[in-house]
Structures are given as C-alpha cells and as structure tokens.
Amino acid sequence: MNTSNVWLRRFSKLTVFATLFLIFVGALVKSFEVGLSVPDWPTTYGFQMFAFPWSDMVGGIFYEHSHRMLATIVGAMTLGLSIWLSFSETRVNVKKLGYLSLILVITQGLIGGLTVMFFLPTAISMIHGITAQTFFLIIILIAYSLSIEFSNKNSKPDSNRTIVMSLFIAVYIQLILGAWMRHTESGLAIYDFPTMAGQWLPIFNEKMLTTINDWHFYMDYPEVSMQQVLIHFLHRFGAFVIFTLTIFMGYRLHQNKSVYSKKIQKNVFAIYVFVFLQILLGALTIWTAKGPFITSFHVMNGAAVMGLSFILFLRLSDIAFLRK
C-alpha cells in the first residue's frame, strides 16, 4: 500500500472532523450573539489574526476570534488537501473536488467577512451557514473517494438508495430552515415543546400569537410576528418528516439486513442515534430558552446527521464519476 495515500486518507478524515468542529464553534458565535465582538475584518482590532494578544481574548471576543482562527486553520488544511490531491491523485474528478473545496472555503471566508462588514444581515448570514454545510459535504465526498471501502466496493447501486437520498435531502433542507430560523430570531417564536403555545394542533391565529407574546413579555424577550411563528413551525415540521423518513429507512434496510455489510449496519444505527439525539437537543434548546451550548450542539449534531445520511447514500450508490 502506498504510504503517501495512507496519510492522505487520514488527513482527509481529519479535515472532515475539523470542519464539523468549526461548524460547532461558528454556532457558538451565533448562540452567544457575539458576531460583532470583533468589529473589523480581516484584522482583529487592527492586529494580524494570529498576533492578537491571548490576554485580550475575553467575553464575546474569545468566541468570535476563535472562530476566525479555526476557520483559517481549516482553510489551510483544505489548501493542503487540494495541493496533495493534485500531485498524488490520478482521478481527474477527485482532483476537481479538491479544487472545488478550496473555492468553497475561500468563498466561505469572504462571506464571513461580509457578515461583519455589513453588520450581520440575515441573507448573508444564512448563506454563510449554508455554504459551511455544503463545504462539509464536499470534504466528506473527498474522504470517501480516498477510502479503502470505496476502492473495494461493488459498483452495483442498491435499490434502497432512493429512500436514503430522500432522507439526506430532507436533512439538508432542514438545516437551511434551521439557519433561517436562527437568523430571523425565530428560535423561541414557539416557546414550548412538544406542544405549541399550549396546543398539540396549533391554529395560527391572533389568539395563538397573543399567547406567545404574553410569554415573551413575561420573559422580557422581544415580541415575535406570525411570520416568525410559521418559520419556527416549518422547522419543527421538517424534524417530523426526518423522523418519519429515518424510521422508514431503517425498516427498509432491516428487511434485507443480511445483505448489508457491518459498516452499513453501523451507519444506519448511527443515524438512528444521532436523529434521536437531535430531537432531544431540539427539545432542550426550547426548554433552556436557547441555552448557547445546547443550541450549538444542536447545530453541530444536525450537520453530523446530514453527514451520516450522505455517507450511507454514497455506500449504497455507484458514484461512478469518482473513479474517473
């Protein structure tokens, strides 16, 4: 086995986990509402990023500056991965994925700068979050293309890949809805769980909105609009869809359990665990009134669910273009 390829494979996996951790740290910035704790970009209070004094990394500056430094490290890792692929990889499409990942991480950095320069506009902040999730998927795809599992896999696609693809797409859309909810301050637009403004089947009328805003007044939170309530409800409905698809996917794959490898079976089990954990974290986010760490783990765990469903889709599909 080529030693260089072994280390490249390990480095690609390390980049995947570094990106997942970066998503968590980025979520902390939003959860603590400290996105403008460092008001300038690309410098930090006039300092070159890594020259900023550690003693001054206090309060919101700690989270925002840590996010910038980690993002720079992930960017450097992506640059290294792209260069490494260009020299050691013979498959043209895998090389192109390396270049695409580099373009995405540079774009992500520029979008991050724009969020600061334009004082955290909702649209740009949402694009920043969605680009991060998309970049995460590309890095996973690169890592999978380099794996021993992929090089040894049967190219025949599995009939259950459609339901897995449906789950993956649903999770990706759910993450977009989550970003929309977070950046429109709709996270507590419905303040209770599993009920919604005290109802199991809510009626979206003025009475419901009054009940919600009475709670917001009591908790000294800003009033919310019906639009924010609907955005929040869409996110909850998306969670129900994902839960249903997860159960259905597990049932379909369990019917032919004997034909699937241990890795695929573990992958399915991991999706079950992380989906149930995601629902629990979502509930805790409401019950703790958006506790920053709980909320951030909810964001990171959502990315993990997306990654796991994407990997399972890859395992059940041909992905012929990765061989060229």
Q: What is the pLDDT of residues 41-62, one digit of tens each?
A: 989 999 998 999 988 899 999 9
DSSP 156: P
Give the percent of the chain with pLDDT over 90: 74
The pLDDT of 5-29, averaged and rounded, is 95
Kindly indicate the confidence band of residue 154, based on its pLDDT and cuts at 50, 70 and 90: confident
Residues 113 and 196 reside in one and the same domain: no
Q: Which residues make Cβ contacts (< 8 Å) with residue 253, sequence separation at least 6? A: 160, 260, 264, 268
pTM summary value: 0.92
Closest by CA to 131, choosing from 79, 72, 175, 87, is 175
DSSP letters along 38-75, please?
Answer: S-SSSSBTTB-GGGS-GGG--HHHHHHHHHHHHHHHHH
Are the CB atoms for 229 and 189 separated by under 8 Å?
yes
Q: What average pLDDT does range 241-254 have in this prediction? A: 92
pLDDT band at residue 279, thresholds of 50, 70 and 90?
very high
Which of 2-16, 53-67, 144-158 has the highest mean predicted lDDT (pLDDT)?
A: 53-67
Do 160 and 117 lie in a common domain?
no
Q: Are 126 and 26 in contact (CB under 8 A)?
A: no
How many Å apart are CA 286 and CA 155, to the nearest integer?
A: 44
321 and 179 within one domain: yes
pLDDT at res. 227: 96
pLDDT > 50? residue 1: no
Same domain, residue pair 30 and 117:
yes
pLDDT-derived band at 174 (thresholds 50, 70, 90) equals: very high
Min mean pLDDT across 88-102, 109-123, 143-157, 175-189 is at: 143-157
User: What is the phi-psi region of residue 287: left when phi exceeds 0, alpha when psi lies from -120 to 50, beta otherwise?
Assistant: alpha
Mean pLDDT, the chain, rounded, equals 92
Q: Are residues 175 and 113 in the same domain?
A: no
Please state the rounded mean pLDDT for residues 16-27. Answer: 96
- Is residue 6 located within the same domain as residue 116? yes
Residues 274 and 187 both lie in one domain: yes
Query: Could you tell me if 2 and 98 lie in one domain?
Result: yes
Same domain, 210 and 279: yes
195: left (phi over 0), alpha (psi -120 to 50) or beta: beta
Domain boundary among 152, 167, 185: 152
* Domain coverage including residue 202: 156-324
Are 167 and 246 members of one domain?
A: yes
* % of the chain exceeding 70 in pLDDT: 98
Residues counted in the chain: 324
d(CA 171, CA 303): 9
- Kindly report the number of other CB atoms within 10 A of residue 26's CB atom: 25
Q: Among 117, 152, 187, where does a domain finish?
A: 152
Higher pLDDT, 324 or 208: 208
The mean pLDDT value for 253-260 works out to 80
Q: How do residues 190-244 score in pLDDT, each as one tens digit?
A: 999 999 999 999 899 999 999 999 999 999 999 999 999 999 999 999 999 999 9
User: What pLDDT sits at residue 155?
Assistant: 65
**276 lies in the same domain as 254:** yes
Checking if the pLDDT of 5 tops 70, the result is: yes
DSSP string spanning 105-126? HHHHHHHHHHHHHTT--HHHHH
146 — pLDDT class (breaks 50, 70, 90):
very high
Residue with tokens 């006039």: 46
- State mean pLDDT over 159-184: 94
Residues 316 and 161 sit within 8 Å (Cβ to Cβ): yes
Question: How many structural domains comprise the chain?
Answer: 2
Q: Among the three residues 104, 119, 152, which one is the final residue of a domain in this structure?
A: 152
Helices (H), the chain: 3-31, 59-88, 92-117, 122-145, 148-152, 161-183, 206-218, 226-255, 262-287, 292-316
Backbone dihedral angles phi then psi of residue 107, each to the nearest 5 degrees: -60, -40
User: Is cis: bond before 194, omega within 30 of 0?
Assistant: yes
Q: Is the domain of 223 the same as that of 280? A: yes
Answer whether the bond into residue 292 is a cis peptide, omega within 30°.
Answer: no
Rounded to whole angstroms, the maximal C-alpha distance in the chain is 68
DSSP letter, residue 89: -
